[in-house]
């Protein structure tokens, strides 16, 4: 297994609490004043050149938000966040909507190169092919070419560049920043924005609705299979800045899209806030696959700094026979509060959730999913693997419910936790609610440490302890890794190895 060997090599090279992506970049920034008020929202909306309906939508969310309290039910503990002590808008100065890569600040491009996200299109093919983007053969319709990934790069509050736009447009796929979509495709945004996660949904979603600054917008029209993987790369750079991105993905009848999301942030002593909202809409026979590798700065070995990640992600299987699949690898963030969910509204629709959550140091993870069965013959599958090490707390919290009319709803849930060390905690909090006699729900959960027998077996073959553990852990998470697109799978395995560094012994 070369990937495992690779993980081990990388783990060796790195000391504890050395976050690879912790550098920060000096880039001239355009910022709104600190704090949150209706004026700030007007400022953001004006900066983005938004139509008035969008501003009204934001203001309505803001007015609701001021009446709300922060949710307290999750098993995470942190000092109270002062929402007036944050910048809600920060954008690199030189980007009045870049149209091509040559317009982008070279400093910015270097940031993404350093992160291993080469934005120059010829380099996107994982450094294998060195063909210029324009020389690539025209894509024939509905042919998926593996290995090519279109990237939307979001730097603090704005999207700096989106690649492969032209080629995607030929297939009819719209892939752009949400700000651009609000300007260019208002009818689509108006129709779908907030239809899955309404502005009144929860404290952080409401906050996001008021102040979201950017994010990605994907629209795959009827019958189109998106010709390449789409990806967004989020980078938080500025100090004291909250990142509030909004992603909206729509797959029309029979469409298919696979979307990847990655994120990193510099190493800082202060905590930074990230409150995103992701909405997925799948119409009849459509399929959306959403993969996340979350690697925000987790804080240092003493638990200082790190990102507070409060994210609302929800998919709506609105059409019959539609399918939404969430795959997540969570290794970063000081606090993760995230429950990617599926509303199985259409008959015969299905939802999937595959998750690996690794916590080490002082990280706190409270993550899981919701599968809401509303339509007939709907099915869902949940595979969650939690790995807790160091002094971390790792919670799976999930809900499966079958509505009265959800005849033949079917769910299978499996959540396993692995504990490494006796100072960490692993918790499982599943909710199962069946209101239909034909529903069939199965849930199983186990918690254990790495079995001495397994370790002995591996070590007895001359493999040192740390490598043995890496091997067993990679085996433990295999079911989920298999669901990731290939490029991400390798990355995810490496990340897990690095996250667990220093936990052995």
Partner 1 sequence: MNIHTTPQRTPAETALIDAFSDRLSLLPGDGTVMLKRDDAIEAIKSGLPTRRIESWHYTDLRRLLASVPDFDPAAAAKAIAPIVEGSAVLPVLNGVSSTKLPTVDGVAVQRLSEKLTDGSAAPGLDPYGTDDAIGALNTAFVADGYFVDISDGTELDKPIELQNLQAGGQTHVRLGVRVGAGAKAVIVERQAGEGAALVSSVSQLLLGEGADVTWLIVQEQPDTATHLAQFKAHLGKNAKLTLFVMNAGGKLVRQEIVVKTTGEGADFTLRGINLLAGDTHTDVTMVLDHAVPHTASTEVIRNVVTGKARGIFQGRINVHQYAQKTNAKMACNTLLLSDDGEFSTKPELEIFADDVVCGHGATVTEIDHSHLFYLMARGIDEKTARGLLVKAFVAEVIEELDDEAIVEALEARLDGWFVAHG
State the residues that interact with partner 1 by CB under 8 A: 67-71, 73, 200-203, 404, 417, 419-449
Angle at 475 between CA 126 and CA 418, to 5 degrees: 120
- How would you class 152 by CB atoms within 10 Å of its CB: exposed for 0-12, middle for 13-18, buried for 19 or more? buried
CB closer to partner 1, 65 vs 164 = 65
Nearest approach, Cβ of residue 310 and partner 1 (Å): 14
Q: Would you state the structure tokens that stand for residue 200, as one six-digit string?
A: 């009144």
| DSSP at 136 | S
Q: In the chain, what is the straight-line distance between the N-terminal and C-terminal CA atoms, in Å? A: 24
Query: In the structure, how many helices (H) and strands (E) does the chain have?
Result: 12, 24
Nearest approach, Cβ of residue 441 and partner 1 (Å): 4
φ, ψ at 424 (rounded to 5°): -110, 170
Residue with token string 């719209």: 174
Nearest approach, Cβ of residue 78 and partner 1 (Å): 17
CB closer to partner 1, 77 vs 130 = 77
Nearest approach, Cβ of residue 490 and partner 1 (Å): 29
Helix (H/G/I), strand (E/B), else coil: 454: helix
Q: Would you state the structure tokens that stand for residue 268, as one six-digit string?
A: 């800082």
Q: Sign of dihedral through CA atoms 112, 114, 120, 123?
A: negative
CB closer to partner 1, 25 vs 200 = 200
Using alpha carbons, list the distances in angstroms from residue 4 to 11, 329, 467: 10, 16, 8
Nearest approach, Cβ of residue 412 and partner 1 (Å): 10
CB closer to partner 1, 161 vs 424 = 424
Q: What is the dihedral of CA 432, 437, 439, 445, to 10 degrees?
A: 40
CB closer to partner 1, 269 vs 442 = 442
Nearest approach, Cβ of residue 277 and partner 1 (Å): 15
CB closer to partner 1, 73 vs 461 = 73
CB closer to partner 1, 33 vs 71 = 71
Nearest approach, Cβ of residue 332 and partner 1 (Å): 23
């Amino acid at each position: 297994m070369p990937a495992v060997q690779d993980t081990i090599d990388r783990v060796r090279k790195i000391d504890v609490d050395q976050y690879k992506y912790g550098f920060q970049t000096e880039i001239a920034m355009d910022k709104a004043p600190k704090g949150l008020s209706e004026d700030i929202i007007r400022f953001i909306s004006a900066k983005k050149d938004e139509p008035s309906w969008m501003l009204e939508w934001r203001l309505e969310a803001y007015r609701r938000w001021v009446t709300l309290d922060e949710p307290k039910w999750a098993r995470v503990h942190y000092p109270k966040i002062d929402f007036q002590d944050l910048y809600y808008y920060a954008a690199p100065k030189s980007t009045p909507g870049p149209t091509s890569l040559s317009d982008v600040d070279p400093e910015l491009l270097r940031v993404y190169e350093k992160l291993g996200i080469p934005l120059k299109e010829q380099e996107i093919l994982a450094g294998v092919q060195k063909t210029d983007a324009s020389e690539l053969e025209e894509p024939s319709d509905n042919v998926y070419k593996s290995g090519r990934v279109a990237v939307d790069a979001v730097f603090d509050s704005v999207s700096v560049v989106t690649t492969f736009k032209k080629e995607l447009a030929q297939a009819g796929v719209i892939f752009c920043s949400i700000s651009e979509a609000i300007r260019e495709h208002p009818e689509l945004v108006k129709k779908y924005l907030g239809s899955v996660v309404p502005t009144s949904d929860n404290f952080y979603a409401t906050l996001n609705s008021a102040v979201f600054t950017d994010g990605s917008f994907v629209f795959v029209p009827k019958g189109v299979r998106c010709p390449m993987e789409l990806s967004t790369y989020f980078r938080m750079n500025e100090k004291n800045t909250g990142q509030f991105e909004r992603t909206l993905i729509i797959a029309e009848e029979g469409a298919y899209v696979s979307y990847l999301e990655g994120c990193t942030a510099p190493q800082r002593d202060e905590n930074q806030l990230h409150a995103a909202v992701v909405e997925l809409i799948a119409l009849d026979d459509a399929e959306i696959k959403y993969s996340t590798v979350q690697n925000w700065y987790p804080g240092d070995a003493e638990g200082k700094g790190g990102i507070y990640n409060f994210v609302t992600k929800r998919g709506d299987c609105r059409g019959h026979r539609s399918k939404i699949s969430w795959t997540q690898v969570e290794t970063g963030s000081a606090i993760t509060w995230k429950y990617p969910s599926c509303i199985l509204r259409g008959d015969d629709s299905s939802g999937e959730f595959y998750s690996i959550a690794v916590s080490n140091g002082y990280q706190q993870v409270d993550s899981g999913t919701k599968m809401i069965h509303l339509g007939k013959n709907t099915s869902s599958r949940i595979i969650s693997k939690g790995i807790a090490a160091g002094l971390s707390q790792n919670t799976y919290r999930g809900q499966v419910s079958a509505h009265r009319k959800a005849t033949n709803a079917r769910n299978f849930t499996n959540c396993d936790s692995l504990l490494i060390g006796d100072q960490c905690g692993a918790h499982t909090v599943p909710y199962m609610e069946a209101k239909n006699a034909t529903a069939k729900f199965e849930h199983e959960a186990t918690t254990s440490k790495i079995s001495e027998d397994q370790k002995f077996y591996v070590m007895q073959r001359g493999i040192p302890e740390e490598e043995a553990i890496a091997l067993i852990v990679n085996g433990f998470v295999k079911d989920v890794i298999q669901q990731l697109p290939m490029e991400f799978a390798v990355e995810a395995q490496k990340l897990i190895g690095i996250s667990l560094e220093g936990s052995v012994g």
